[in-house]
């Protein structure tokens, strides 16, 4: 797999829950409503992504939504888990550059590409299960025309009152494991600096694309 396919996959995984959310609810009010709190937090997170506009018409409003969505995503934990021993071997400067690029790719690639998958998905949440101090929100995504029947599991935990997603599993395949496979392959072939170069190239490519292609 290539680095760009990873961000495409993340975008699709994020979207698989978006279509079930019709409105964005204020977080405090939403979590007091009926239903498990982790599921409500997930729906709020996905609803924020769904409300983004591409092409971006109001940069200030868009940045606010990006910050709100980012607060739900523990990308640092996902990145560390994916890199495994490579994170420990990396210099502080390399770690900082890696996380900065990963966040920028989420903003420039994953969030916009989510809109490419909008469609008539039927999504149900059959189970919310506690696993230690965290929760698994299980969902099933169905689309008859595309013969889609995907099982998606979101792993969430709560930190200082904020629910955060630190892994997403599609049909048994974890995002962190997927990232780990791709990152390890690139690092093995060209070193950690090679990974940073590949990520920067993908970011440059995304930034050069016209906004119409990000819709």
* Predicted TM-score of the model (pTM): 0.81
Give the integer Cα–Cα distance in Å for 208 and 78: 27
Rounded to 10 degrees, the C-alpha dihedral 150/144/146/148 comes to 10
Lowest mean per-residue pLDDT among 12-16, 87-91, 131-135, 183-187: 12-16
Mean pLDDT in residue range 46-59: 86
Domain boundaries, the chain: 3-214
The per-residue pLDDT for 92 is 97
Q: Regarding predicted confidence, which is higher, 112 or 58?
A: 58
The per-residue pLDDT for 23 is 27
The per-residue pLDDT for 109 is 87
Does residue 215 have a pLDDT over 60? no
> Which CATH number applies to 3-214?
3.10.450.710
Biggest distance spanned by C-alpha atoms of the chain: 51
Strands, DSSP E only, in the chain? 122-131, 134-143, 148-159, 162-170, 173-174
The per-residue pLDDT for 45 is 87
Does residue 155 have a pLDDT over 90? yes
Lowest mean per-residue pLDDT among 23-32, 53-62, 140-149, 165-174: 23-32
Strands, DSSP E only, in 161-204? 162-170, 173-174
Q: What is the pLDDT of residues 161-181, one digit of tens each?
A: 999 999 999 888 999 999 999
Does residue 95 have a pLDDT over 60? yes
Q: What is the pLDDT of residues 137-154, one digit of tens each?
A: 998 877 666 666 778 899
Sign of CA dihedral 58, 105, 167, 156: negative
79: left (phi over 0), alpha (psi -120 to 50) or beta: alpha
Does residue 77 have a pLDDT over 60? yes
Mean pLDDT in residue range 4-23: 48
Kindly report the average pLDDT of the chain as a whole number: 81
Give the integer Cα–Cα distance in Å for 210 and 84: 35
Rounded to 10 degrees, the C-alpha dihedral 85/90/92/94 comes to -130
The per-residue pLDDT for 47 is 81
């Amino acid at each position: 797999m290539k680095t760009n396919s990873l961000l495409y996959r993340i975008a699709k995984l994020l979207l698989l829950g978006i279509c079930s959310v019709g409105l964005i609810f204020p977080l405090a009010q939403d979590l007091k409503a009926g239903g498990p709190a982790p599921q409500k937090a997930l729906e709020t997170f996905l609803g924020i992504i769904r409300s983004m506009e591409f092409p971006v018409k109001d940069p200030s409003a868009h940045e606010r939504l990006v910050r709100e969505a980012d607060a739900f995503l523990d990308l640092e934990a996902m990145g560390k888990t994916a890199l495994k021993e490579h994170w420990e071997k990396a210099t502080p400067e390399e770690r900082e550059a890696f996380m900065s690029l990963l966040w920028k790719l989420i903003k420039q690639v994953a969030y916009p590409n989510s809109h490419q998958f909008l469609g008539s998905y039927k999504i149900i949440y059959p189970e919310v299960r506690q696993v230690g101090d965290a929760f698994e929100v299980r969902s099933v995504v169905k689309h008859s025309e595309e013969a889609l029947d995907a099982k998606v599991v979101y792993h969430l935990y709560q930190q200082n009152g904020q629910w955060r997603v630190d892994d997403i599993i599609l049909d048994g395949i974890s995002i962190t494991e997927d990232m780990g496979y791709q990152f390890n392959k690139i690092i093995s072939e060209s070193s950690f600096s090679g990974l940073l170069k590949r990520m920067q190239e993908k970011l440059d490519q995304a930034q050069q694309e016209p906004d119409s292609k990000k819709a």
